[in-house]
Amino acid sequence: MTRRLVVVGVLLGVALVAPGRAAAHVSLLSATPEVQSSLDAAPTQILLRFTEPVAISPSAIRVLAADGTVLSGVARAALGDLVVIAPVSGLVQGSAYTVRWRVSGQDGHSPSGVFNFGVGVPAPPPTEAVGAKPTTWKDDLARWLLFASLALVIGPLVIRLIVLRGAVPQPLERRFHLVPTFAAFAILNVGIAAFVLRASNALQLPLPDLLYGDLQPFAEKTRFGIAFLALTLGFGVVATLLVFAWVADLHRLRLPALALSVVLASGISLSSHQATLPNSSKASELADWLHLVSAAVWVGGLVALAFLVWPSAPALRARAFLGFARLAVGLVGVMVLAGAYLALVRLPALSDLWESEYGRLLLVKLAIVALALTWGALHHFVVRPRLEAGEQPRVRPSLVGETFVAIAVLLLAAVLTNASPPETTTTTTTSAQPSR
Amino acid sequence: MIPRPETAHWLAAAVALLLGLILLSEIVVGTRVFRRRAWRAYLFPSLALGSGAFLLLITIFSTFSTMHLVAHALWAEAAMIAGGVQLAVVRGKLSSAHWSLVTAGALLVCGAAFLVHEPNPWLFSRSAFLHHVIGWMLVAAAAFPLGQALRPRWVLWPAGFALTWIVLALLLFADRDTAPIFGRFGGAG
């Protein structure tokens, strides 16, 4: 009986492994015109080639002009249903067009997708496809969580590696390992959520269809997509380094993890809305990165002080506070200078501050920053001298308060990052690739 | 940017087979003998953690659908977290047997992701069949680390856990999407 079972098991195994036709889930293999391409002459048809035979409806391919006019005819399948073709007419030079497609595969999945092409002009990014919706509060929330997670990776690592060098009590050491590790995993997940949200604004699909939405044009042809790919891989490496640093007591691994996180922060700033604007330059990109990194160290450092050092290492409180106070002077300097430069680039006229929505948001952010800086100055000029004199003032509630104000600053920064500066500094149609 | 699914599946299968064989070796020769060389204890968890990080590479190639992106990310993170926790247990950073509940949770999440990302019934195609088998197998296999948390000395738990990886490898080696369920014996393909 046992022998029979073994024979049947082996046969089943061989049958499963024996080669049959191997193929992927249905996905778009290629398109003519190419995804996000620029053509010299208007095409007469759209041709999509898929990895599997597909079933289609007459409106499987829709080509849309900027005003929403449908320029495509009835779609038909060809070449064993691997190719879908739709005729197009009425396309003119100097315009960009959006292709929206939806097919059904043999496996029951119904993938959909969207891309643009230009005739005599560059293709706008897929996020600006006809019918795409602008970013919403969900995008702001995702970016805020991304900023906060980045702060929780960078801040505690900076405090541990620069401010509190040398041995620390074991419980504190464990917290210094675990908080950045969890935050690195948080970045992975928030990054995926932010990427899918951003793509869904352009895909405009109900949730069940979004699950099979084609995200490739967004991943490969937009700045935020490329940044998403880099962040996912990069913070995967950061998380792995941090896990090994903790488990194997290889504390030196935290240094490359910190360095990599700081470099990857540039991906977050380069994927912002402002980085795609015409007045964006290498200097503004550098300023944006410095602004983000200094803010992340400041907020993350405050969290480390208030929630890691204070509860678990009373003997190190004064040393950590005084060390961070020295560091904070430089951080605030970089943050304010970089922020002021960026404000000048994005709001060339003073009146933009109160006449544009972006300017008004910036004013609110500046008010909260002013509150945070006043709070920090209070710590610097009142608490620091007392700690230096060997006193033990009750600081933690105040530190927690400043931390929450700093987190509110990050929220405003997230909203601003997704917002558009005044029209005079933007173009709303075409921009060079890769874009948003 | 889509790698051939066979390449990705067979790579995953090779890693799963290696993981299963490492665990099986420990059961066959006994933990005392297996861990005469200290580094051997770190083999399984390190490989699980590393393969999770590698799976993130597959994840970013899986942008052809939201579902596949999310499912691959879940598998990657589950492997990284379970591997990291097991590494900490081996190293002595975590001591309670209850930490194997993390592995149980990871198996549950992975199994659920397999089941949710397959919308077709069991006999629709080979891939549908295999996804259902793998999904339910991983969900059921969560009982092994769960049992290990409650009765750590019972050999059934590590043996079942090791065999799970080997069967997973076999199923992944066989994973083709629209091929008939039993390959050339199924009449098509």
Q: Which residue of A has its CA nearest to B52?
A: A236
- Kindly determine whether residue B2 and residue A24, on different chains, have CB atoms separated by under 8 Å: yes
Strands A54-55, A104-105: pairing kind = antiparallel
Which of A226, A247, A250, A251 should we substitute to test contact with B (largest number of B Cβ atoms within 10 Å)? Answer: A247
Is there a domain that residue A183 lies in?
A: yes
Specify the CATH number for the domain of residue A93. Answer: 2.60.40.1220
Query: What pLDDT does residue A293 have?
Result: 95
Which token pair is A145? 């969580």
- Kindly determine whether residue A22 and residue B5, on different chains, have CB atoms separated by under 8 Å: yes
Same domain membership, residue A171 and residue A62: no
- Kindly determine whether residue B176 and residue A107, on different chains, have CB atoms separated by under 8 Å: no
CA distance, residue A133 to nearest chain B CA (Å):
18
The answer, yes or no, to whether the previous bond of A434 is cis (omega within 30 of 0) is: yes
Is there a domain that residue A232 lies in?
A: yes
Shortest CA distance to A64 belongs to which of A30, A88, A33, A41? Answer: A88
Same domain membership, residue A393 and residue A337: yes
Same domain membership, residue A158 and residue A98: no
- Please state the rounded mean pLDDT for residues B51-74: 91
Is there a domain that residue A37 lies in?
A: yes
**Chain A residues inside the 8 Å CB shell of B183:** 15-20
Tell me the per-residue pLDDT of A234-261, one tens digit each, with 9 for 90 and over. 999 999 999 999 998 898 999 999 999 9
ipTM, 2 decimals? 0.87
CA distance, residue B109 to nearest chain A CA (Å):
15
Residue type, B52: G
Is there a domain that residue A64 lies in?
A: yes
Which of B72, B89, B178, B185 should we substitute to test contact with A (largest number of A Cβ atoms within 10 Å)? Answer: B178
Same domain membership, residue A350 and residue A308: yes
Q: Which long-range contacts does A379-382 make (Cβ < 8 Å, 24+ apart)?
A: A379/A321, A379/A325, A380/A325, A380/A328, A380/A329
Pick the last residue of a domain from A128, A163, A178: A128
Structural domain harbouring A394: 137-425
| Of the partner residues B59, B87, B126, the one whose CB lies closest to the CB of residue A247 | B87
Is there a domain that residue A412 lies in?
A: yes
Same domain membership, residue A355 and residue A210: yes
CA distance, residue A222 to nearest chain B CA (Å):
13
Please give the interface size between A and B, counted as residue pairs whose CB atoms are below 8 Å apart: 158
Q: Which residue of B has its CA nearest to A210?
A: B66
Same domain membership, residue A350 and residue A244: yes
Specify the CATH number for the domain of residue A206. Answer: 1.20.1630
Same domain membership, residue A163 and residue A76: no
Q: Which residues pair with residue A218 across a beta bridge?
A: none
Structural domain count, chain B: 1
Same domain membership, residue A308 and residue A191: yes
- Kindly determine whether residue A219 and residue B130, on different chains, have CB atoms separated by under 8 Å: no
| Of the partner residues A12, A215, A247, the one whose CB lies closest to the CB of residue B84 | A247
Same domain membership, residue A117 and residue A237: no
Same domain membership, residue A198 and residue A114: no
Query: What pLDDT does residue A356 have?
Result: 86
- Kindly determine whether residue A111 and residue B64, on different chains, have CB atoms separated by under 8 Å: yes
Same domain membership, residue A156 and residue A89: no
Tell me the per-residue pLDDT of B99-125, one tens digit each, with 9 for 90 and over. 999 999 999 999 999 998 887 778 777
CA triple B181-B187-B189, angle to 5 deg = 75
**Chain A residues inside the 8 Å CB shell of B177:** 22-25, 52, 107
Is there a domain that residue A264 lies in?
A: yes
pTM summary value: 0.87
Structural domain harbouring B70: 5-186
The answer, yes or no, to whether residue B183 has pLDDT greater than 90, is no
Report the 3 state secondary structure along chain A.
Answer: CHHHHHHHHHHHHHHHHCCCCCCCCCCEEEEECCCCEEECCCCCEEEEEECCCEECCCCCEEEECCCCCECECCCEEECCCCEEEEEECCCCCCEEEEEEEECEECCCCCCEEEEEEEECCCCCCHHHCCCCCCCCHHHHHHHHHHHHHHHHHHHHHHHHHHHCCCCCCHHHHHHHHHHHHHHHHHHHHHHHHHHHHHHHHHHCCCHHHHCCECCHHHHHHEHHHHHHHHHHHHHHHHHHHHHHHHHCCCHHHHHHHHHHHHHHHHHHHHCCCHHHCCCCCHHHHHHHHHHHHHHHHHHHHHHHHHHHHHHHCHHHHHHHHHHHHHHHHHHHHHHHHHHHHHHHHHCCCCCHHHHCHHHHHHHHHHHHHHHHHHHHHHHHHHHHHHHHCCCCCCCHHHHHHHHHHHHHHHHHHHHHHHCCCCHHHCCCCCCCCCEC
Is there a domain that residue A8 lies in?
A: no
The answer, yes or no, to whether residue B39 has pLDDT greater than 60, is yes
Which token pair is A88? 């197009």
Pick the last residue of a domain from A128, A151, A173: A128
Same domain membership, residue A158 and residue A79: no
Splitting chain A (436 residues) into consecutive groups of 10 residues, what average pLDDT does each group show? 62 49 67 93 94 90 94 92 93 94 82 94 92 91 95 97 93 94 96 94 89 91 88 95 93 95 89 70 88 95 95 92 92 92 85 86 92 91 89 89 93 88 53 44
Strands A28-32, A76-78: pairing kind = unpaired
Structural domain count, chain A: 2
pLDDT band of B176, cuts 50, 70, 90: low
Which of B65, B85, B184 should we substitute to test contact with A (largest number of A Cβ atoms within 10 Å)? Answer: B65
Pick the last residue of a domain from A78, A94, A128: A128
Using a pLDDT cut of 90, give the percent of chain B over it. 61
Which token pair is B15? 């890693």
